Structure 1
Amino acid sequence: MNIAVIGATGLTGHQVVVQLILKGLVGPMDRLQLIGRPSAEARLRGLVADVRDAFFEAAPELDITLSADEIAAEVIVFAAGVTIPTDHRRPLTRDALAEANRPLFEQYAEAIARNGHGHELVIMVSNPVELGVAVFARHLGRERVFGMGAYQDTLRFRREIAGELGLARQRVEAYMLGEHGSGLVPAWSALRLHGFDQEETAQLRRRLRKGLCSADYPHALEAETGAVRELIVNDDLAGAFNRVATMSADLRVGLAPFATHYSGAKTAVATANATVDMLRVVLSGHQTVMAAQVALQGEWLGLDTVLGVPVQVGHQGWRQVSPLALDEDELSRLRQVGEEVSVKLREWERAA
């Protein structure tokens, strides 16, 4: 197996490299291509030395690449580009993030399309993840490109539910759909708790939601984001985390990473873990349903945009959407978020 990590010297890219080895997705018979800018060559060489020192018997063949034209892999993890600063005094809007990272998305997508073998799978980690997926899908074919935002949000959602109920996460089936960021859509009506019947699940669902309905969720998320941001601006990180802890599980999914990022710790370990886990699912050889940002062309709800939805995946990419039986408020919100993402993508492309 040949895997390439674009942006290997960044916090998340570095973690992806380490976790690929620790979790056994690559070994001595495999090749791991570490890709960065020429200015990062020294750091890449240092990373190779460190990884070999830590995992000498288990390490794959490690290859340093400084040019997008020399990428050669079956699976490509894209974790390069500008990220949101952890200093709240230097805010970076999503529009600014798109403006900064779009040329990088285009550069690598064009190079892989030009030089690749035509079967590469790409997992997009960098933000805005929807823009990254849109660009790579345009160049490589949409079935070969996944955004990991919805997968990570879904893992967080399941973890929050499992933790509150005292269950193993494997007993929770739940999805967080929509946009990775302010456009989250919790699919509460699709919640399944293994070992509980429908009536018991309904009771626990009401307890978990703490009176918050689907129609009110986006407004609550916006209001709580403002409240948590104000605590952070006032250097009350403990207060921010304490406030998040009192929220419903779906709000914690959106706000806990926000507080973690601005604490200075960032979310690199969790993001890398979700990325590697997603890669494991894709490469398992089994047809599996997972949440991911993909480029839709009307497969569900007539949506023609990039959105986090449940898709059936295999080692050749995703083949179809697996629609969930959602209630009308959730479906309405998903359509709305899809329309909003479409507008953003058009604006970002026009600004190019």
Structure 2
Amino acid sequence: MSISIAILGASGYVGSALCAHILRSGILEPGDRIQLVGHGEPASHGRLLAIRADLLDAFDDLRVCIDVAPQMEDVEADLVVLTAGAPMPPGCTDRRDMGRANLPIFRAIAAACGQHLPTATYLVVSNPVELAVQELAQKIDRKRILGIGAEQDSLRFARSIARSLGVSRHDVHASVWGEHGRGMIPVWDSVSLRSSNPVIQQHLVELKQQATIAPLMQRVEVLQQALMQQLQKEDIASAYHLAEAALPDARIFVEPFVTARAIHSTPNATANAVLNLLQAWKADDGRCVHAQVLLQGELHNMFGPLGVPVTIGAKGWALHTYAHEQNLEAEQLITSFQGIQAALSDCV
């Protein structure tokens, strides 16, 4: 049975890059479809037509149908990827500013999707991801809405650990819970390796021990101050060097900050996280991924969006059994959750 994927915000930098990544990944089969969704404006429609022509030139041999839908009323999809949002000034990292700018967009999209695509599954890229998840869940079954931030953060944590150990990220599993932002929680107890090499295993034990010497956020603050000194001099290379020398849990807080200063967005990393969730959704095999989802008491009696390990399939998401097995202090989760709630209240 063929599947149809709609990309909301396909005319943007991240959305257009995502289309190419999906097509290149081989996830879609002949007869499947990608819809590039516009805003109902002539300029947006024209850009989408140009992007479609470019994608066809690159990927037409795959026999995947690539359509342009000028507005939401024209969309038919099993899965929707939301990348739309207000353009932010270069270097903008204030999530509250993003939230205030994107709130009316999220509400308009939620209303349109609730009316026309109530049974689709939604992967949310747009930031603040927690705000988008919350607004979509006002009109759509919350179990069908997943923010990709937690998966992106988890992949970043695994990559940072792999780099420190000198192995491939393929050999590392790691989880990041909580907020997609300052309140994320890298979970050292979640880290596991495919390799049975005793030297690498011992190196991981040493990394974990080093991470307990000083509180994480204290290390992040010191590192960020050092980075700012380099960024003020526009010395991006030295800033990255400082980040890469830090422990993996602190590194994932500051590297995106340096990247945002240099190129504003992370289209390739974002696309990779979306692909992981898309593959899990299509396989529907119970594999563990990570996502911001709207909880209703499933974990520590919290009601609201939070990044957690989940499974995903045709019927939506469910907490992964692994989520209940982790040695993660409730206080950490509640602190992150409260930070998300405070940020959301500043946006609405």
TM-score (normalised: structure 1):
0.90
Give the equivalent residue in structure 2 for 1:180.
180
Shift of residue 61 of structure 1?
A: 1.6
Shift of residue 81 of structure 1?
A: 0.8
Give the equivalent residue in structure 2 for 1:60.
64
Q: Supply the AA of the counterpart residue of 2:226.
A: A
**How does 1:22-101 map onto structure 2 within 5 Å?**
22-37=24-39, 38=41, 39-86=43-90, 88=91, 91=92, 93-101=94-102
Give the equivalent residue in structure 2 for 1:159.
159
Q: Is contact 1:34-1:62 (8 Å) kept?
A: yes
Consecutive unaligned residues of structure 2, counting only runs of 5 or more, are none
Shift of residue 200 of structure 1?
A: 7.7
Q: Secondary structure in 1 aligned to 2:123?
A: strand
Give the equivalent residue in structure 2 for 1:108.
109
CA deviations over 1:237-290 (Å, ceiling 9, x no partner): 112111101110112222222212212273111111211222111111212221
CA deviations over 1:196-232 (Å, ceiling 9, x no partner): 499985x434432473339811232244234323421
Give the equivalent residue in structure 1 for 2:127.
127
The verdict on how the C-alpha distance between 1:187 and 1:198 changes in structure 2, with shifts beyond 3 A counting, is farther
Q: Secondary structure in 1 aligned to 2:102?
A: helix
- CA–CA separation in structure 1 for the residues paired with 2:319 and 2:209: 34
Shift of residue 327 of structure 1?
A: 4.0
Q: Supply the AA of the counterpart residue of 1:335.
A: I
Q: Supply the AA of the counterpart residue of 1:94.
A: R
Give the equivalent residue in structure 2 for 1:190.
190
TM-score (normalised: structure 2):
0.91
Q: Supply the AA of the counterpart residue of 2:32.
A: D
The verdict on how the C-alpha distance between 1:71 and 1:229 changes in structure 2, with shifts beyond 3 A counting, is farther
Does the alignment pair 1:314 with 2:306? no
Consecutive unaligned residues of structure 1, counting only runs of 5 or more, are none
Q: Supply the AA of the counterpart residue of 2:82.
A: F
Shift of residue 161 of structure 1?
A: 1.3
Q: Supply the AA of the counterpart residue of 1:288.
A: R
Instruction: Report the count of equivalent residues.
Output: 343
Q: Supply the AA of the counterpart residue of 1:183.
A: G
The verdict on how the C-alpha distance between 1:198 and 1:302 changes in structure 2, with shifts beyond 3 A counting, is farther
Q: Secondary structure in 1 aligned to 2:210?
A: coil
Shift of residue 175 of structure 1?
A: 0.4
Shift of residue 84 of structure 1?
A: 4.2
Shift of residue 36 of structure 1?
A: 1.9
Q: Secondary structure in 1 aligned to 2:7?
A: strand
Over the matched positions of the two proteins, sequence identity in percent amounts to 31
